[in-house]
Chains A and B, each alone.
Chain A
Amino acid sequence: MTATSATPEPSEGPLRTVVRGVSLSPELRVGLPGTLALALVATAGRAIVPIAIQQTIDSGLGDGGVDLDLIARVVGFAGLAVVLTALASGWMNYRLATVVETALSNLRVHAFRHIHDLSMLHQAAQQRGSLVSRVTTDIDEISRFMQWGGLNLITSSGQLLVATIVMFAYSWQLTLVVLLLFVPFVLAARWFQVRLTAAYQVVRENIGRLLGVVAETVVGAPVVRAYGVEERTQVRLDAAIEDHRRSAVRAGGFSSLFSGSGEIFGALASAGVLAVGIWLGVGGDITPGTVIAFLFLITLFVDPVLIAAEVINEGQNAVAGWRRVLDILDVPPDVADPGDEGLDLPPGPIGIGFEDVAFRYPHAGETAQEASGPVVLRDVALTIEPQSRVAVVGETGSGKTTFAKLLTRLMDPVEGRILLAGVPIDRVRFGSLRKRVVMVPQDGALFDGSIADNVRMGNPDLSDDDLELAFLELGLADWVDELPDHLDTRVGERGSGLSGGERQLVALARAYVSNPDLLVLDEATSAVDPATEMRLQRALTGLTQGRTTVTIAHRMSTAEAADEVLVFDQGRIVQRGPHDVLLAEGGVYGGLHASWVRGTSGAHDSA
């Protein structure tokens, strides 16, 4: 479903990926010898019928008339073998499905948990979609491939092997003829396969582009309409649709020609077998029945090669998907929980210390340790007293959000260290850290569920009464009453049923019930209507009471009311102090403040 055209050319071979993948999912090897043995039995069954025909014609219908006894024995025996091989093949299919699905299900969960430990998940919102495909479509592809393609590959190679063995048993001369005649076919198959792979790669790229253009048309419909650019859009669409059609037909053409060539090579082999067979037959080396059996066995030879080429094609997607899953597992968790060796934060209010902290973002593909992106924060050294209220201000890109993320250990600094209540933050157990330090993100970040569900995430043991009490204490009881289903109102996907301000109200309530000692707030930037605005302020007052609070401020009023303001500019703290003092100093803060006053009345921002 997802187009993965953006993937660069693989740096490792498919085989290497498969080996790496299997070593990471050892469950795949469970009972593998047994499954392979069953596969051999199952494919051996395919030779039974040609042998039975040969036996019947040669021995049963020989010159001495019809030997019914013999034929009955042959047929009975073959019938039994057919049933047994069917059982073997069924059993093999079942084992394969169970093993593959179990292994992949574990891989899925493993990757899911691992991704949650990667800070890139919340750093790069645009990558989220592709991270989702790591645990969904990529793994679905592997499963489909292993059960269809992998199975076919096993049985096909088994078939090839069994057919060759049987043919050798009948007549090594004729076998040589067949093998010789198949050399050009195998070469042709290779030729076709290279072209098919390239052709399907183009198809995949074109599908990706087609999806993109269609999405633009649908999502951008208001712009298309308002600007009257329907025709231009149509031209783009038609081009993408036509490109896809043309490339798909081209790939189909190669595939068609390839299966046609299979027929011809099969016939060449048959003709060769007939000629050499007659020649040998005349010489008395083999019987006519052997020749006839060979004519049947040849079809067993063509199919596996055709199937293998097809499987290798389909396999490209699966192997690429597998590689992507493995690659993400290779990224070390950059913000790791010290676990049992970690410390708990001492009880009581939390003070903050930054010691020469610097941070830079990694480029795409880099781990946090190798980060070589632009420096977004440098030389940050400060202490914040317990229970003080600090506002952080600065232009877009000044580093204030990075500061907040370091403070809550959503990321680790590249240089320097951060202390919470005197304890280095990376020594604090997550259990303790997440309980005592809570961040309220800008957009509220809600889950599809009721308001009560969302708030309970902050404290799962909360009773219904406590929940209502929390809203009452925050002065939000009247808001809850206005909602259609009160606390049971569903918030919709990502809270889309609520306005931006309302989403943050829920997030504030969630923070409130978890009762943290350090609260980090990212103020909402979008404008909210006055009623919600007032409630937000009221709730904030209740929430921040008695806690250390660091607020990324987008409102003048927040900075004015803070005990201290930190002014960020180009990754450094350039000013700090109470509002009045800073205002008198002028500087960056003076500029920010002036533009606040001039341009807006408070609610604003920056992306």
Chain B
Amino acid sequence: MIGIALRDAKGPFALGIAGSILYAAMSVVASLVLGWATDEVLLPIVASGEIDGQLLVVAMLLIVGVATLKAVGVVGRRLGAYIAQFSLQSQYRRRVTRRYLDLPIAWHRRHPTGELLSNANADVESAFFVAAPLPMAIGATLLVLFTGGLLVATDPFLAAIGFSVGPLLAFANWFYQRRMRSAATVAQQARAEVSEIAHASFDGALVIKTMGREDQEAQGFREVAEDLRDKMIRVGKLRAFFDPVIEALPNIGILLVLLVGALRVRDGALTAGDLVTFAYLFRLVALPIRVFGWLLGELPRAVVGWDRVERVLQATGRMDHGDQRTTGEGGADVRSEAVGFTHPSSVREELSGPVIASVTPEGAGARGVSSVSFDVPAGRTVALVGATGSGKSTVAALLVRLFDPDTGQISLDDHDLKDLGRDELSRNAAIVFQDAFLFDDTVAENISLGAPVSSEQIEQAARLARADGFIRELDHGYDTVVGERGATLSGGQRQRIALARALVREPRLLVLDDATSAVDPSVESEILRGLSEAELPSTVVLVAYRQGSIALADEVFYLREGAVAARGTHEQLLQDVAGYRDLVTAYEHPGEDADATPGDRP
């Protein structure tokens, strides 16, 4: 992994490592200069009582000069590390998000949103967090080697004494990091728990309020908060114990060196200046050893992050495109032949974490389709009707190739969707989902999505979607920024903008998947009537619940258990198919439903 980091950010690392080496070298030189200044400048001058101005100036220049080089080294090292770290982050963010755009929707469905978000953000970040201390660690290795050599050359005996502290320090560090990691992981879990409880509790605020359960909620929260507190105190305890030990060890080493060094000076094996150098160098080594500890401590986190990033980069599955083009005009001819498809949501790749039953568009009921065959002649409007779980939304998604069918095929103008060129289908077909998704951009941009359309066309589409009125009342009209996911708009307004987005492209196939469910009923009927009166050059397939919408279709496909059970006009089906009749009239007179017991009427 460090290899990958080094490979993908060669330049910055070269800068960082060069800076680090310069810094390390100059640290050693600085201590030599200090020692020399003590022995050759300070002591003789003070002893002789005569100031040798020239020598003094040389010493001062040396000190400042060496420090300047050291500063250059430090800036190079840190800057290199920063550039490396952030360029790696951005490189891999780009690669991960490119994969997101490439991988099929089926893959997206298998992964919780939160996981994908953290892959691109937190995981990439932690994977390359090691990049920061890397140049310093490499410099530190050299520094330790340098210093070691120098100390040994000056006085091997004293060096041995001093370095005896090293292994102790390394061991303490290793032990500390190990204990710390498990304590920190436990605390992290407790923190996640706190966040989860707070989320759930605030989300359910209304019920909690109506049931008067605030105090019980606070009690439950107190328990997890106190659990977190205890675990954080444990982390603090560990640090409280180890930090001073790690700080004290080098000091003890220096004191030992002083004591033994004094003996050596007495024996004439060492000068006083050498001893000063020694003490200074010794302090230099203490810091790098800590950096190593830090690097090692970060590594496990980085490896986990990298693994998660790599899983996205190596995810398989892609949607291949053909190179056929369709030359048709006006409404498209759509055909589905024995199409079968099972949603992959039940098979989770991620085994950890709670499995939430539903991530599919139809909620828990989505079970895919078993064998759906139909054809929609060009320019017709067809309604897909069926109970929850009958496969309506699945068919809608298959028509615009969000998924590929497991069996059978879907074709547009006699081209299998799989054979169409990459952008060919999106040029010809548009879908509007029930859950209208808006980007954090202006209303106009949300409608055009970068398509080459004029503002007149945008307004025209908005009028057709009955959105023009409220858009004009927004602060900046069509240039109003809608906020993250359209937070400033109501659900019905979002749906109408999403509808305009589809209409502005004048699609030859328009798929409406319960696209106006949040719109006031009177507005909805206006929209649908407007659509049919506009005589769009489109084939329209709509998933609908309300009789008013269904009645507008030329033909109705009644879906049951993943297959087309019956087709015909609304009136025909009402008359001939009991299941259909029950379904579409269920909302009208609920109490009179065949199964309801008399007297049950509300």
Quick check: which of A64-72, A352-360, A367-375, A463-471 contacts chain B, the rest being far away?
Answer: A64-72
Say yes or no: A263 contacts B74, CB within 8 Å: yes
A24 vs B227: C-alpha distance when bound (angstroms): 22
Flag if A544 contacts B212 (CB, 8 Å): no
- Chain B: CB-nearest residue to A527: B545
Q: Main secondary structure on chain B at its contact with chain A?
A: helix
A128 contacts B602, C-beta separation under 8 Å:
no
Q: A274's contact among B63, B226, B426, by CB below 8 Å, is which?
A: B63
Q: Is the CB of A541 within 8 A of B75?
A: no
**Candidates A68, A116, A219, A256; contact of B208 at CB < 8 Å:** A116
Most buried by A among B82, B427, B521, B582: B521
What is the bound-complex CA distance between A494 and B356, given in angstroms? Answer: 10
Q: Chain A contacts of B389 at CB under 8 A?
A: 529
Q: For residue A534, which residues in chain B have a CB less than 8 angstroms away from its CB?
A: 586, 590, 593, 595-596
Q: Is the CB of A214 within 8 A of B121?
A: yes
User: Which residues of chain A come closer than 8 Å to B524, judged between CB atoms?
Assistant: 599-600, 604
**Are A98 and B233 in contact, CB atoms less than 8 angstroms apart?**
yes
> Cα distance A65–B66 when bound, in Å?
33
Query: CB-nearest residue of chain A relative to B594?
Result: A534
Which residues on the B side are within 8 Å of A87 (C-beta)?
244
Q: Quick check: A541 and B601 within 8 Å, CB to CB?
A: yes
**B546–A600 touching, CB < 8 Å:** yes
Contact in complex: A533, B586 (CB < 8 Å): yes
* Cα–Cα distance between A190 and B450 once the two chains are bound (Å): 46
B358 an interface residue at 8 Å Cβ cutoff?
A: yes
Q: Complex formed: what's the CA distance from A443 to B441 in Å?
A: 29
Q: Once the chains bind, are A122 and B66 in contact (CB under 8 Å)?
A: no
Stretch at the interface among A15-23, A54-62, A168-176, A418-426: A54-62
Closest CB-CB distance, B32 to chain A, in whole Å? 13
B330 at the interface (CB under 8 A from A): no
Whether B449 lies near A232 (C-beta < 8 A) is: yes
Known: A82-B255, A263-B74. A232 touches B588 (CB 8 A): no
Judge whether B202 and A128 touch: CB under 8 Å: yes
Does A457 count as interface, using CB distance less than 8 angstroms?
yes
Contact of A66 among B78, B82, B262, B449 (CB under 8 A): B262
User: In the assembled complex, which residues on chain B have CB atoms less than 8 Å from the CB atom of A211?
Assistant: 117, 121
Q: How far is it, in angstroms, between the C-alpha of A520 and the C-alpha of B280 when the chains are bound?
A: 78
Instruction: Contact check, B51 vs A282: say whether CB atoms are below 8 A apart.
Output: yes
* B: number of interface residues (CB 8 Å): 174
Q: How many residues of A contact B (CB 8 A)?
A: 183
Known: A253-B79, A275-B56. A602 touches B587 (CB 8 A): yes
- Residues on B with C-beta less than 8 A from A229 are 426, 449-450
Whether, in the assembled complex, A218 has its beta carbon less than 8 Å from a beta carbon of chain B, the answer is yes
Contacts of B86 on A, CB cut-off 8 Å?
A: 244-245, 248-249, 252
Using A218-B113, A599-B522, A606-B518 as known contacts, say yes or no to A113 and B218 having CB atoms under 8 A apart: yes
Measured between alpha carbons, how far is A509 from B70 in the docked complex, in Å?
74
CB atoms of A538 and B600 under 8 A apart: yes
A60 and B262 contact, CB distance less than 8 A:
yes
CB-CB under 8 A from B101, the residues of chain A are: 217, 224, 230, 233-234
Chain A residue nearest to B57 in the complex (CB): A275
Residues of B within 8 Å of A244, CB to CB, are 86, 90
- Residues in A neighbouring B38, C-beta threshold 8 A: 288, 292
Query: Does B490 sit at the interface, judged by CB under 8 A?
Result: yes
| Chain B positions within 8 Å of A433 at CB level | 212
Q: Mark B211-224, 1 if CB is under 8 A from A, else 0.
A: 11111011001100
Instruction: Select from chain A the residue with minimum beta-carbon distance to B528.
Output: A599
Partner-contacting stretch, out of B91-99, B147-155, B157-165: B91-99
Determine if B501 and A215 form an interchain contact, defined as CB atoms under 8 angstroms apart.
no
Residues on A with beta carbons closer than 8 Å to the beta carbon of B388? 499, 528-529, 532
**Smallest CB separation, A535 vs chain B (Å):** 10
Contact status of A260 and B71, CB under 8 A, knowing A97-B233, A226-B402, A234-B97: yes
> Does A383 have its Cβ within 8 Å of any Cβ on chain B?
no
Does A479 count as interface, using CB distance less than 8 angstroms?
no
Residues of B within 8 A of A74 (CB): 258
State whether the Cβ of A366 lies closer than 8 Å to any Cβ in chain B. Answer: no
6 smallest beta-carbon distances between A and B, as pairs: A97-B236, A267-B67, A434-B212, A228-B426, A252-B82, A607-B491
Other A-B pairs beyond A109-B225, A492-B358, 7, CB < 8 Å: A66-B262, A121-B205, A140-B191, A210-B121, A216-B485, A220-B439, A607-B518
